[in-house]
Amino acid sequence: MGEPWCRRRSTSATLTQVTWDERMRARRTAGFGVPYNYAGQRYDPVPMPPQITAIAGDARTWTGHPFNNCLANLYETGENTMGFHQDSYDGLVAGSSIAIFSLGAARRLVFRSLDREHRTELTLEHGSLLLMTAVTQLGWAHAVPRDPAAGCRVSLTFRWFDPQTAGA
């Protein structure tokens, strides 16, 4: 297997150069673009590296709108997770989507109905792009559960914040 892909400089110079934020216990994160208050943490404005800007451009071709923020999540092993939550669309441009681009190991994204009666799931493969509108959050929470067999993964989550209010 060799080194995890995200530690190999040749695989992704951009991601190996990221300074990861360690304030969260479950995984590491990094913010790019306009400032963002996420899960109780403030991410100051950081220029989006060209490679991440290029992926934002690809996402734009599917959504028809730009993205001015990227929150990257580093799941170094399958022990790194994201708990059940509903995404906030506060501050996002009305009608815009959140785009999740996946790199590295495949992980499950599990959706659970708010009454906890129903579950469904997707596998987020390397190179996949998932688009979620605010409607996706109605009645459902989602999570990336533990997966002991999984290797290193990065998700790039793109948002389009209203530039007038971003980071307020």
Ligand X SMILES: O=C(O)CCC(=O)C(=O)O
Residues of this chain that bind ligand X (CB under 6 A): 73, 82, 87, 100, 109, 124, 142, 144, 155, 157
- Provide the minimum distance between the beta carbon of 89 and ligand X in the complex, in angstroms, as a whole number: 11
**Chain residue whose CB lies nearest ligand X:** 155
Cα–Cα distance measured from residue 24 to residue 11, given in angstroms and rounded to the nearest whole number: 26
**Of the two residues 116 and 164, which places its CB atom closer to ligand X in the complex?**
116
- Cβ-proximal residues to 161 (8 Å cutoff; 6+ apart), any chain: 34, 36, 68, 69, 91, 92, 93, 167
**Of the two residues 9 and 42, which places its CB atom closer to ligand X in the complex?**
42
Tell me the chain's radius of gyration from C-alpha atoms. 15
- Provide the minimum distance between the beta carbon of 108 and ligand X in the complex, in angstroms, as a whole number: 10
- Provide the minimum distance between the beta carbon of 121 and ligand X in the complex, in angstroms, as a whole number: 12
- Provide the minimum distance between the beta carbon of 98 and ligand X in the complex, in angstroms, as a whole number: 7
Q: For the chain, how far is it from start to end, CA to CA, in angstroms? A: 44
**Of the two residues 9 and 113, which places its CB atom closer to ligand X in the complex?**
113
CB of 103 closer than 8 Å to CB of 126: yes
CA 109 to chain centroid, in Å, comes to: 11
**Of the two residues 63 and 157, which places its CB atom closer to ligand X in the complex?**
157
